[in-house]
Structure 1
């Protein structure tokens, strides 16, 4: 890995969660020449996963590393001088069906690290978390393990990203929009190290170190990375409903609900009385054939297909969301249409651990991506890991955990028509059928 000095020029490609947090922590450590580039004309990028109305903030993981890091993140989110008033500690009700090993392990880690938790061991205790006027569905009567994480909630994601952008600029970092990357410029010879980034407008940005923090756009922007970095772009369907003022009062006291078995999660209403829900599972891939006659999963968003067409979700996803919604809040599910839809695109790794570290064979190229749908909550602290890796002080166990060239678990279910197919922990990614996207009729209650 190239030795990077505090005055060395560093270019970070991508102004999302990983990119901005990395810039922020490098600047805090005395680096003075940090330039963040992003393809979007305006920032935060409208179609980025980190630009959203809300994201769950919870420490409830079966991996105690993530539990501990999330506790640090919650502490940072609460620092309003640094991160603004974007965090809302509504609590997160965690549940798991069947044996619920994942959920019970999460509970044990939360308990061991001193997180305020309440074991909701029976139906009556689960009902006590909600206003008495809220009708609860079968998810709360089924035999499952559930608990309330009181040191958790949600964050206004677009606001948090905007604050990170402001923090980077306040520390002297440069963030430039409208800079889509065309190629990485490498020197000739045996090392082949990256020396600059060239954008589609012809501008050139020399660097001692380039950090790729391009999220779900990584495989399609850098095709050579698909097998080298082992990440896959998957789209996850998100919908919202609109509550009346009186309905919002009734549901506003509710916690975030997250079923760790099915992946379904739903938020309490925000200030505009909007409720968002989604399913964290396999999602959908959109395979686009390249000039090299292979296919790479590529995001389908408002920037590629327009404001209306780019927000449509698969019909099958709308139906699955309606069914899961009914199991939580049946009264709302039977009366409320989905008023907005969106596919939120993630860069998934097979083991769901992030990709943080040097690229194989290129000492001047770093990777910071692979959020796998659970990175945003760590926005205030995730760049600390990247900065540690850049400076060569990331603990060995974490360097191995996040190594770009680590051997990830394989499910031996590779689709020969796709460069890479990854099986997520909960479900398998499905191929997006762009001829079967939802219409207004598919968003009505059934």
Structure 2
């Protein structure tokens, strides 16, 4: 049994999954769609989707995501809907020469999709991608990879704001300051949610799209810790001068899949963002329980230092930056942040009805690669709500699927997240440049 378009749908979370789902449901004729979010101000300042920018790439080793990303990019390019928030600067993927690895498989998929690609067999060849004004570092030595010209990045917060405006224009409701504390269940079926202020809201269907707060908020249902682990990932920004930004204005997004380090071109405000994807950190605020659950540590819970990343991550970011763009590697970091998201150990999303509960559907476990799909990810969730997903895709994202691959595999050099309590946090002094050397380009 699936919900019909005249029944009420209550979505918990106004981030990428939640707001896109609301939009697509309203587009399909659903008439009673409400989105709740814990944050008083939307988009929530500490949500993963609230960020300067996000990578938009088709370069996936999994053909499903590659095709879906291609569809998303076709939507991002519609300037009458999205303005100029999508910037197609290209995506440069670095890896080793092993044909079995992620980048090699992604290249095959991009070529099969007819995308514009340039393959490189050496780091020296890869350096030709960059303008003469840009000095590249030792990370390119011994590397291979390719440039995908049909990819780039998007202004992330603005995208959520624009999608939220569309939801409101279509008659949907978006309610801020509504922290959900649990589910109302009757005879094994979810019929609504309880709120922190003691009130409750009923609905025919509740969609959990609460991102990194999923496992810690909904402890009353059995969420497999292989599919619902909240992890934080280090981000930093550097403020360039107008002259410095001009050197890097025409570079692609660079992603080193050997280390998880990636870096963007400057924004219009001359800000460069750099980050790591995986393995991140976990945070257990309640350690005296039988079942501790990783919970985001952000400005919402730790106002004074909620933006801090670990000192070891900060040092790794600077070291990795030296490997890509040594000319700016000693500049001070302007800001840092832990970007929290829920991930599954196989990196696939969780989208589907909770087993034996037709009143509850999950749309979460973005695993650090959901935002680029903002224009279309709600289509997948809406298909799941209406029971229209192809069987293979439904199984791929099923809540109760068996994990066939563990992304956190030490034998492949992919370690599990470290416990945040064991890691010292960076201080404002740690953000300062390492030396006063000249940072000129060339």
Q: TM-score, structure 2 length as denominator?
A: 0.94
Distance 1:412 1:128 in 2: 33
Please show how residues 364-383 of structure 1 align to structure 2 within 5 Å. 364-383=359-378
**Matched-pair contact (CA < 8 Å) for 1:226–1:232:** no
Q: Return closer, same or farther for 1:423/1:127 CA change in 2, 3 Å cut-off.
A: closer
Output one character per residue of 1:257-300: Cα deviation in whole Å (capped at 9) or x when no partner: 01122110000010111100001011000012277433110000
Instruction: Check whether the contact 2:126–2:144 (CA below 8 A) recurs between aligned residues.
Output: no
Q: Give me the whole-angstrom Cα distance separating, in 1, the residues matched to 2:61 and 2:406.
A: 21
Give the CA deviation at 1:444: 2.9
CA-to-aligned-CA distance 1:97-145 (integer Å, 9 cap, x gap): 25262101100100010111111233443222111021100112x2222
Shift of 1:226: 5.9
Specify the alignment match of 1:54 in structure 2. 53
Q: Flag the 1:281–1:407 CA change in 2: closer, same or farther, 3 A.
A: same
Counterpart for residue 32 of structure 1: 31
In the other structure, the counterpart of 1:433 is 421
Deviations 1:300-356 (A, max 9, x none): 0011111x41101101111111111111011211x2111100000010100000000
Number of corresponding residues = 432
Q: Look up the match of 2:167.
A: 168
| Structure 1 position 235 matched with structure 2 position 232 | yes
2:123 aligned with 1:128, yes or no?
A: no
Using the size of structure 1 for normalisation, the TM-score is 0.93
State how 1:37-436 maps to structure 2 within 5 Å.
37-99=36-98, 101-140=101-140, 142-187=141-186, 189=187, 192-225=188-221, 227-228=223-224, 230-289=227-286, 292-306=289-303, 308-333=304-329, 335-409=330-404, 426-433=414-421, 436=424
Q: Distance in 2 between matches of 1:412 and 1:273?
A: 35
Corresponding residue number in structure 2 for 1:417: none
- TM-superposition CA deviations, 1:382-405 (whole Å, max 9, x none): 111110011111000000000011
| Residue ranges of structure 2 left out of the alignment (5+ in a row) | 435-442
Alignment partner, residue 439 of structure 2: none
Q: Measured at CA, do residues 64 and 410 of structure 1 come closer, stay the same or move farther in structure 2, by a change above 3 Å?
A: closer
Q: What residue in structure 1 maps to residue 437 of structure 2?
A: none
| Secondary structure in structure 2 of the residue aligned to 1:25 | helix
How far did residue 26 of structure 1 move? 0.6
Rate the CA distance shift 1:384–1:6 in 2: closer, same or farther, 3 A.
same
Give yes or no for contact 2:311–2:423 (8 Å, CA) kept in 1: no
Q: CA deviation at 1:410?
A: 6.9
Decide whether aligned partners of structure 1 residues 170 and 411 sit closer, same or farther in structure 2, where only a CA change above 3 A counts: closer
Say which of 425, 432, 435 aligns to 1:444: 432
Pairwise CA distance, 1:4: 1.1
- Alpha-carbon distance in 2 for matches of 1:85, 1:425: 39
Q: 1:99 to 1:410 in 2, by over 3 A?
A: closer
Contact 1:17 1:376 (8 Å CA) reproduced: yes
SS at match of 1:300: coil
Partner of 1:418: none
Q: CA deviation at 1:408?
A: 1.3
- Retained in 2: the 8 A contact 1:98–1:144? yes
Q: Measure the CA separation in 1 of the matches of 2:123 and 2:335.
A: 32
2:132 is paired with a residue of what secondary structure? Answer: coil
C-alpha contact (below 8 Å) 1:314/1:433 kept by paired residues: no
**Worse-matched range after superposition: 435-444 or 370-379:** 435-444
- Equivalent residues of 1:351, 1:424 under 8 A apart: no
